[in-house]
Structure 1
Amino acid sequence: MCPTCDASQQGVPNGTPAIPTSQNPPAINGTSSASNGLTNGSGSGHAQEHTPHNPRRQPFASVGDYLSNVSNFSIIESTLREGEQFANAFFDTDTKVRIAKALDAFGVEYIELTNPTSSEQSRKDCEIICKLGLKAKILTHVRCHMDDAKLAVETGVDGLDLVIGTSPQLMQHSHGKTMDYIRETALEVISFVKSKGLEVRFSSEDSFRSDLVDLLNIYSAVDRIGGVNRVGIADTIGVANPRQVYDLVRTLRGCVHCDIETHMHNDTGCAIANSLCALEAGATHVDTSVLGIGERNGITPLGGFVARMLTLDRDYVRSKYDLAKLKPLEDLVASAVEINIPFNNPVTGFCAFTHKAGIHAKAILANPTTYEIINPADFGMTRYVHFASRLTGWNAIKSRVEQLGLVMTDSQIKQCTAKIKAMADVRHLAIEDIDKKHQFQVKEQEMAAEPEARELDHVVEEQTKVLNGVVGEVDGREEKVEALNGEGVVVNGTA
């Protein structure tokens, strides 16, 4: 049993609250019908399998948990702090202001800034952003040191994020302090920050290589005595896996009454999964950065995290965040740090909603939920059906013919499909290839004898015009269409 826990809150030995019975299920985030956040609204389509109005059961759905916060979390967006530690990052004041405004427009609850003691310009930038009047609360990330705290509170921020290393490696080779020193210093600095009326979070650094008893003792002290708003767990080197994260957060949840923040690095590719597991175990706040940029290979990416949470509670996520602003936000940050958005980036990667195989295309055209868990329209994106390959099916070609308003029989469409597949067996096809008349044209005498061949050539020419940027219909509105590598069929993004 955690020695500092309130026994009246424990219910059963070892600090584990009593488990509600099936006859008296607990309310989760305000509704007793929730199951680990899987209350996704009443609409049909994407991520709608488990709702009061659509109660189909999924055999592999998450188990309901009364501590889960997958439908009750806040994002602490750290692009302007952790992201500034990205190897390629240089944010001048104007860029910082534009990123801060874009994050605020997206809807994040907190924006974290670089320690104002880092440089004179960092201090000035902090003051400038604090004066923008954003809806998001402005935090700054500082060392658990009185000098840092005194300067930070003068910048106008809404809160301070205090951090100090607690692992044996950092205590020996970084700051050289003992746990007793860390505890006393933390209480002193927290008391000072609280006296200024500001929010304060205390976080250990390298939490998953720290001694568990040390962690619980320091967290219990700052919660019970210091009165922090949040305690933080940081997987500073990306060593943790989801099970380890769940176990540590669940244990900590039984020892503190304040909120719990998590900061997950992506060295081993687990940042998003670890952030989700932390929420399932009772954490309340998640640190992110746009495109995951940060020290080494960064932390939990904002877009990927939001996409993950959207599949668990679509209505909740859509009510909090303006998802259509994600792509412009990522474009802004990618340009600022001079990188391309990865092709496999969740949601906004260039092929995130591209369907190529014939059986996939057929199913997608019939019902997008067959091969999409996320509706691209939620993010202002559009799906594509790729047709210029050997894997294409005649359903994809038929869809383009119908979009062009042409009249062709199924037999003619299948002939067209066979010709495209045969060409694609020879080499990669792009729209420029299809545009070359000789690659689709048959002999002059065959065209005269075969009306279907002339119709096929006409279809190819019309497809080329549309896919090269002629006005097309997307999401019910007329606009210029940019074909995906010149190879795709644009399909309405609405399920």
Structure 2
Amino acid sequence: MAKVYVFDTTLRDGAQGEGISLTVQDKLKIAQKLEYLGVDYIEGGWPGSNPKDLEFFRRARELSPCHAKLTAFTSTRRPNTAVAADTNIQAVMESGVKTVALFGKSWDLHVLKALGTTLEENLAMIGETVAYFKENGLEVIYDAEHFFDAYKANWEYAMETIRAAAAGGADWLALCDTNGGSMPDEIAAAVSCVKETVEIPLGIHAHNDGEMAVANTLAAVKSGAVMVQGTINGLGERCGNANICSVVANLETKMGKHCLPTGHLERLTESSRYISEIANTTVPHNQAFVGKSSFAHKGGIHVSAVLKDSKTYEHIEPERVGNQRRVLVSELSGASNLLFKSEELKIDNLAEKEVSRDLIRHIKEMEYQGYQFEGAEASLELQIKKATNQYRELFQLESFKIMMEKRTNEDILSEAVIKLKVEDQVVHTAAEGNGPVNALDNALRKALEEFYPVIKEMHLTDYKVRVLDEKDGTGAKVRVLIESRDAHNSWSTVGVSQNIIEASWQALLDSMDYALLKQQKETAKSASAATHA
């Protein structure tokens, strides 16, 4: 298979996205995960632009030798300035990198208006800066900024800038759709033209302002580009960059290209979600290849077909990109959905028609009332356990009371008092919290931890409230979704009521129940393993 090189710019172009703020430690973690994924180039930042990037390159030297080439980003020398006297250029030299991504102006509009210099001086800036880095032993990737807009506006000058970079000794020419407004046929035509003009290998750097970045990147590869630039999950300025996850997955599974080391494509989903977590973003559930919903099936007809042959509704096997098939249970479900769940959860009698039919009817009624189990699979599993008589109640609520007090110019104080029956003992305790739900969570934990220490290992990571009947105003029914996690897993639960405290209690209760259910499973599994050892 033909090799296509992967140039990741999450740490530089991705960090320019709105709401993204990476610490030096964040950048080091992401760099290590990109190395784990197996990309060829990691663009770490612009050493001359800020102290954070300077510190990153300094600390990156301490990382173990790796497959990826750590790359610094910078611009051509300033107009009418010697290359050796340009502080940005010297910052790259001091960073210790062996590869530089150097951008220069391709569009005469930018040269004349943004730089405020002549077209001839711009050509000299490009050629001299490339030559300087080459003379100092660096690999040079020349990023032709705004190339496709330049090609459409004044193709003769755009090609002159490319020839200037080639004459300076550039190792790569990366053509940039910086404004992100080009179409695939325009990209293909321009890349083909450049390929006929220079012998240097070509790359593509596409932005996503027209929702075409991935398509444009693939079109460039079809026309001869052998380097793809982009970011994990498509992070980046404005509408983002080409999504490396989608680009690489398409190249390897659809176009017969070799991008990552053998076996590393299976690390794609894990890497996508890890980097999203570090960047404090979320991977859209419907993101291609790596999203939580990208191999999720909800309609009963779909599920029935997938159980017979996954190719009926899946374009690739999810395991190829490290993802997994999911079957959702909702008001659209049929017996096939529950059959899949029974196999997944290893529940035998769920396959019985009467049990299955009653459970489907019950779930559909609950969803009519406002529950949503496709986003709360822990609550769904508990419903299945109850329907199949495999649920054991470990504690019972006798009562709880929540008190709130507001004093002038002071925050509201919240306290929850709870009474539970646990293992034939009545536990009566109280706890404060930042709000009524937090106080209730703290009181419930306090009551249970003595009996079930596993509760100490879990914590809530997300709490969402959705009003279901807006027209009813403050008396509307609400749905509460809670996400919890321990050291190894995360799970989601749901509650619905016209009272937000009651809805929150239902979701909290399911969350605790599920944590205890998981512990029971693990204990039983360990006991079984010991018996057979």
Q: TM-score, normalised by structure 1?
A: 0.70
> Do the aligned residues in 2 keep the contact of 1:75 with 1:109 (CA within 8 Å)?
yes
Aligned residue-pair number: 387
The C-alpha deviation readout for 1:206-239, integer Å capped at 9, x for no partner, is 112212111222213432x222111121111111
Give the alignment partner of residue 126 of structure 2, picking from 173, 186, 196: 186
SS in 1 for 2:54: helix
1:126 alignment counterpart: 57
Please say if residues 360 and 371 of structure 1, whose CA atoms lie closer than 8 Å, have aligned partners that are also in contact: yes
The correspondence for 1:89, drawn from 20, 25, 43, is 20
Change (3 A) 1:419 1:460: farther
Task: Identify the residue that residue 295 of structure 2 maps to in structure 1.
Answer: 353
C-alpha separation in 2, matches of 1:214 and 1:128: 41
Quick one: distance in 2 between partners of 1:457 and 1:84? 47
Residue 364 (str. 1) matches residue 306 (str. 2): yes
Match of 1:477 in 2: none
Matched with 1:8 is none
**Residue 154 of structure 1, CA deviation:** 2.9
Cα distance, 1:485 vs structure 2: 6.1
Aligned to 2:258, what secondary structure does the other structure show? helix
Q: 1:151 to 1:421 in 2, by over 3 A?
A: closer
Structure 1, residues 34-70: CA drift from partner, whole Å, max 9, x if none?
A: xxxxxxxxxxxxxxxxxxxxxxxxxxxxxxxxxxxxx
What SS is found at the alignment partner of 1:163?
strand
Q: Would the alpha carbon gap of residues 266 and 121 (structure 1) be closer, same or farther in structure 2, given more than 3 Å must change?
A: same
Corresponding position of 2:337: 396
| Deviation digits for residues 418-447 of structure 1 (CA, Å, limit 9, x no counterpart) | 55445544544436887898xx9xxxxxxx
1:459 aligns with 2:402: no
Higher strand share: 2
- 1:76 paired with 2:1, answer no
In 2: Cα distance, 1:119 partner to 1:457 partner: 58
Judge conservation of contact 1:231–1:261 (CA < 8 Å) in 2: yes
1:214-265 per-residue CA deviation (whole Å, 9 max, x = no partner) reads: 1222213432x22211112111111111111111101111111001111111
Quote the Cα distance in structure 2 between the aligned partners of 1:429 and 1:122.
Answer: 44
The offset of 1:463, in angstroms, is: 12
Please tell me whether the aligned partners of residues 235 and 265 of structure 1 are also in contact (alpha carbons under 8 angstroms): yes
Answering whether residue 348 of structure 2 is matched by residue 405 of structure 1, we say yes
The question of whether the paired residues in 1 share the 8 Å contact of 2:44 and 2:72 is answered with yes
- Aligned partner of 1:242: which letter? P
Across the aligned residues of Structure 1 and Structure 2, the Cα RMSD in angstroms comes to 3.2
Aligned partner of 1:247 in structure 2 is: 189
Structure 2 CA distance for partners of 1:332 and 1:436, relative to 1, 3 Å: closer
Q: Is 1:233 aligned to 2:154, yes or no?
A: no
- Which of 102, 125, 132 aligns to 1:162? It is 102
> How far is 1:319 from its partner?
4.0
Displacement of 1:111 in angstroms is 0.7
**What is the rounded CA distance, in whole Å, between the counterparts of 1:314 and 1:485 in structure 2?**
42
Q: Name which of 179, 204, 220 aligns with 2:144.
A: 204
User: Which one-letter code corresponds to 2:121 in the other structure?
Assistant: Y
CA distance in 1, matches of 2:159, 2:355: 71
**In the alignment, what sits opposite 2:254?**
312
Match of 1:493 in 2: none
Alignment check: 8 A CA contact 2:266 2:321 kept: yes
Check if 1:135 corresponds to 2:135.
no
> How far 1:143 moved relative to its partner?
0.6
Name the counterpart of 1:114. 45
Partner residue of 1:101 out of 29, 32, 53: 32
Does the Cα contact within 8 Å between 1:216 and 1:252 map onto a contact in 2? yes
Kept after mapping to 1: 8 A contact 2:26/2:279: no
Per the normalisation by structure 2, the TM-score is 0.66
- Cα contact 2:106–2:161 (8 A) shared by 1: no
Assess if the C-alpha contact under 8 Å between 2:276 and 2:282 holds in 1.
Answer: yes
**Equivalent residue in structure 2 for 1:375, among 317, 320, 344:** 317
Pick which of 106-115 and 131-140 moved more: 131-140
Equivalent of 1:150 in 90, 99, 102: 90
Deviates more, 1:118-127 or 1:178-187: 118-127
Q: Which 5+ residue runs of structure 2 have no aligned equivalent?
A: 78-82, 395-487, 495-509, 511-533
Question: Which residue number in structure 1 is paired with residue 115 of structure 2?
Answer: 175
Matches within 5 A, 1:432-451: none
Q: Is the 8 A contact 1:90 1:336 kept in 2?
A: no
Q: Measure the CA separation in 2 of the matches of 1:368 and 1:485.
A: 28
Cα distance in structure 2, aligned partners of 1:434 and 1:234: 48
In 2, Cα distance between equivalents of 1:140 and 1:191: 16
Question: Partner of 2:237 in structure 1?
Answer: 295
Alpha-carbon shift at residue 101 of structure 1 (Å): 1.1
Aligned match of 1:475: none
CA distance in 1: counterparts of 2:186 and 2:393, whole angstroms: 53
Change (3 A) 1:109 1:125: same
CA contact 1:116–1:140 (8 Å) conserved in 2: yes
Which residue type is aligned with residue 4 of structure 2? F
Q: Percent of pairs identical after alignment?
A: 24
2:327/2:340 contact within 8 Å kept: no
- Tell me the amino acid that sits aligned with residue 394 of structure 1: A
CA distance in 1 between partners of 2:183 and 2:317 (Å) = 29
- The residue aligned with 2:520 is none
Distance in 2 (CA, whole Å) between partners of 1:204 and 1:358 is 50
User: 2:264: which partner in 1?
Assistant: 322
> Closer, same or farther in 2 for the Cα pair 1:203/1:409, shift >3 Å?
closer
Deviation string 1:320-340 (CA, Å, 9 cap, x unpaired) is: 462343344334433333222
Single out whichever of 337-346 and 411-420 deviates more from structure 2. Answer: 411-420
Conserved 8 A contact 1:88-1:337? no
Taking the aligned partners of 1:164 and 1:174, their CA distance within structure 2 comes to 12
CA-CA distance at 1:93 after TM superposition: 2.2
Question: Which deviates the most, 292-301 or 327-336?
Answer: 327-336
Output the CA distance in 2 between the equivalents of 1:426 and 1:300.
41
CA distance in 2, matches of 1:464, 1:246: 63
Query: Structure 1 pair 73/396, CA: closer, same or farther in 2 (3 Å)?
Result: same
Question: Does the residue aligned with 1:352 lie in a helix, a strand or coil?
Answer: coil
For 2:208, the aligned partner's letter is N
- Asked if the contact 1:143–1:162 (Cα under 8 Å) also holds between the matched residues in 2, the reply is yes
- Contact kept, 8 Å, 1:400 with 1:463, in 2: the verdict is no
Code of the aligned partner of 1:115: W
How much has 1:352 moved relative to structure 2? Answer: 1.9
Instruction: Please give the secondary structure, in 2, of the residue aligned with 1:174.
Output: helix
**Alpha-carbon distance between aligned partners in 1 of 2:140 and 2:392, rounded to the nearest angstrom:** 59
Q: Structure 1: give runs of 5+ residues left out of the alignment.
A: 1-28, 30-70, 441-455, 466-479, 488-495
Q: Tell me which of the two structures has the higher relative contact order, counting C-alpha pairs closer than 8 angstroms and 6 or more residues apart.
A: 1
Q: Is the CA contact (8 Å cut-off) linking 1:384 and 1:484 kept in structure 2?
A: no
Deviation at 1:74, TM superposition (A): 0.5
